[in-house]
Amino acid sequence: MSATEPKVAVLMGSKNDWNIMQAACEQLTALGIANEARVISAHRTPQRHHDFVTAQAPAEGVKVFICGAGMAAHLAGVTAALTSSPVIGVPLESGGLGGMDSLLSTVQMPGGMPVATVAVGKAGAKNAAILAAQMLGLGHPEIAERVKDLRAKQTAGVPEFPE
């Protein structure tokens, strides 16, 4: 991967989120997009969060942030507060409320501070990666082509009849 190649940071609030968030990294890798997974908690490691988003990530060429968190999920929102790069939030089901807690925490951002919120859980992690690729594809035609290929293969893989 070259230094000028855009990178996606995949952040998660706990190492316990990795079993779901690895779907984002796998999808990014399948699309040939450089990615880096980091455990960063808005609540437990606020300094690590600040340093990564404001200094390390821009220096590494990160262009889009994907943030997965459960419970009182503030990771995506605080990331959005720290950067003007696009932030995609993946609500995770890790509390006792089936993901409704993290969904509302992630999606209900105040005006002026967007977080593109995707589905709860693994489908959301995968979609976050594809959405990040679509964003990067606006400035990188080769990435846009790979997204088109993915969609075409997906369409071709849907049978017309159940049996």
Residues of this chain that bind ligand RP5 (CB under 6 A): 13-14, 16-17, 41, 69-71, 92, 94
Q: For strands 87-92 and 62-70, give the pairing.
A: parallel
Select 17 or 27, whichever has its Cβ closest to ligand RP5.
17
The 8-class DSSP code of residue 10 comes to E
Least distance between ligand RP5 and beta carbon 6 (Å): 25
Output the smallest distance, CB 111 to ligand RP5, in A: 25
| Comparison of 25 and 92: residue with beta carbon closer to ligand RP5 | 92
Shortest distance (Å) from residue 70 CB to ligand RP5: 3
Q: Is 49 helix (H, G, I), strand (E, B) or coil?
A: helix
Nearer to ligand RP5, 40 or 135 (CB): 40
C-alpha to C-alpha distance for 160 and 49, rounded to whole angstroms: 47
- Spell out where 28-158 has E strands: 34-39, 62-70, 87-92, 116-117
Least gap, CB of 120 to ligand RP5 (angstroms): 12
Residue nearest to ligand RP5 (CB): 13
The residues, ordered by sequence, that sit 6+ positions from 122 with a Cβ below 8 Å of its Cβ are 20, 23
Q: Do 119 and 148 meet the contact criterion of CB atoms below 8 Å apart?
A: no
Nearer to ligand RP5, 68 or 86 (CB): 68
